[in-house]
Amino acid sequence: MQKIVVITGARGIAADVIERMIKKEYKVIAITKTDAASIPSSCSRYVADITDEAKVKEVLHQIDQEFGRIDALINNAGVGHWKTVEDMTSEEFDDQMQTNVKGVFLMSKYAIPLLRKSSQGHIIHVASDLSYTSRPKASAYCASKWALLGFAGSLKLELAEDGIAVSTVAPGLVQTDFGGVPKEKKEHGLLPEEVGAYIDLLVEANGTSQEIIIRPKPLT
C-alpha cells in the first residue's frame, strides 16, 4: 500500500526527506509557509502558516477529503533567532515559540484523526540536540525545543492505545541555511541527508516510537 506522508517545510532536511519519499513512490504532501518553487512537481503542496489554526484545520480537512488518511506526519518546520536575551525582541521570541511549539501542536492535533485511519500511523518531530542542553544566544530556541520534547512525550502516551507512534529526531548542527547562518559556515555540521536517513527509517518503522539524537563527529 502506498504510504501517505505529510511534511512541514521544503528546504534543507525537508528537501532531502521529500526526495527520499518520492523515490519510494510514496504520496508526499508538503505544507509550506510560502510557495516553494523547489518542491518537485510530483509532491503535492499546500501553502499554510502552521501557526494559523483555521488554516491548518482547513488544509488537513482538504488532505482528508483527497487522500482519506495520513500514514506519517513529519513536523519539520522550525525557526531560530540567535541573540542574547537582552538583544532579542519579543517578536523574535514569539516567532520561535509559535512555529516550533504551537505549529507542532496544531499540525498534530488536526492530523490525529487522519492518522487513526492508518494501520501504521506515525508522528515524527524534528527536534534538536538543544532539546537536551543549552547554549548562549539560543534561549528561545532551546526553550521551544525543550517544550517540543515534553509535548512529544505526552503525545506518545496519549496515542499509544490508538497504535500511533510518536518519535523525535534531534540533530545537532546541520549544514543548512537556518537561523540567519548560511550553510557555508557550518562545514563541520551534519549533512541534511544524514538526518533525512534517520527520518526515512522511522517512516519505514511502521509504528515504533523512537527518540534519536544525532550529533556531528567530534573534530580531531
Return the C-alpha cell found at 9.
Answer: 517545510
Give the DSSP per-residue string, 193-216. HHHHHHHHHHHHTSS---EEEE-P
Burial label for 117, CB within 10 Å (0-12, 13-18, 19+), is middle
CA torsion through residues 86, 91, 53, 6, sign: negative
Active site residue 141: yes
Is there a contact between 10 and 18 (Cβ–Cβ < 8 Å)? yes
Catalytic residue among 26, 110, 141, 198: 141
3-state secondary structure 58-112: HHHHHHHHHHCCCCEEEECCCCCCCECCCCCCHHHHHHHHHHHHHHHHHHHHHHH
Rg of the Cα trace of the chain? 16
The residues that are catalytic are 141
